[in-house]
Structure 1
Amino acid sequence: DADLQDPPELLTDMRAAMRSQGADVVYAVRRKREGETIFKKITAAFFYRMLDRITDTPIPLDTGDFRLMTRRALDAFLSLPEQARFIRGMVAWVGFKQVPFPYDRHERHAGETKYPLGKMIRFALDAITGFSTAPLRFASHVGLILTGLSALLVLYIVAGWLMGAA
């Protein structure tokens, strides 16, 4: 991002953490999120915790896309064919040793967010449908319930027809 919310001067420390811990990915974890509304902070916290509960891929909490990756981790990431790219989940999914790098996120120096509420909802739906089987399980259960109810309705109609015909 070019708005300097994620300070590029941290990259040196992130690289040192990568080398000292033998990691392929160092992802920034926001301890504080200055300049964001309470609504944004609460919904983001809720989203990440809910996503953590419904996915099999352990996606780090309170992270963004500010991260440092080795070439081999980046190549593995780039080889993925997904169209709707939930980068945080995809990087977690490719594996490799990944370590957190906590930092305080300061207020945006320039510009404004490119993620209004509608875009954030689409982002959340991409994450949920891309990394969770919960929507598929939900649809399957609803389909089974509706099939069962339909079968009962057919039996009821057939029974009514037979009783009325006798």
Structure 2
Amino acid sequence: MTRYYSWILILLIGCCGYSTRSTLPSQYKSIAIPVVDNQTVKPNLGDMLTDQLLNDFTKDRNLSIAPIDRADIVLECRITNYERSPQSYTANQEVITYRTTLNVFVKALDKTKPDTEPLHDGEISAWITYDAQSETEEIGIARAIEKVSIEILRKLLTTW
């Protein structure tokens, strides 16, 4: 009977695992992240997203950052929309919260097989809300950039 319970315990423990490993094929070891193209009227968004992507991919450590000519993947990003809109109001019609939205067109090119389809080719969006009384638009932008960067990283590493 003890042997029976031991096997059940082993099976249950084996089912409780969690992994943050990438599902990337093993041939991909490095990524190049050129400066993000900002097609909005809001300045510096491209530079901010470039810096955030570099930080997030460096922290993640599934892919090393490399120059374009030595990378297995080239990540091309283009910010196509930035929007800040009031989300909620007080009884006096003063803004309580704003919603910041970023839309980014992302293309991940496989440099190991240049004539193949992109690994990812599509738009990724992220939005956040922030308190108009205690936070600035810059804080809202930084949080939206962080969120869209994490979403880009997640999509590239898990949805091949």
TM range (shorter): under 0.3
Query: Greater share of strand residues, 1 or 2?
Result: 2
Higher relative contact order (CA 8 A, sep 6+): 1
TM superposition score normalised by structure 1 = 0.25
Q: Which has the larger radius of gyration?
A: 1
TM superposition score normalised by structure 2 = 0.26
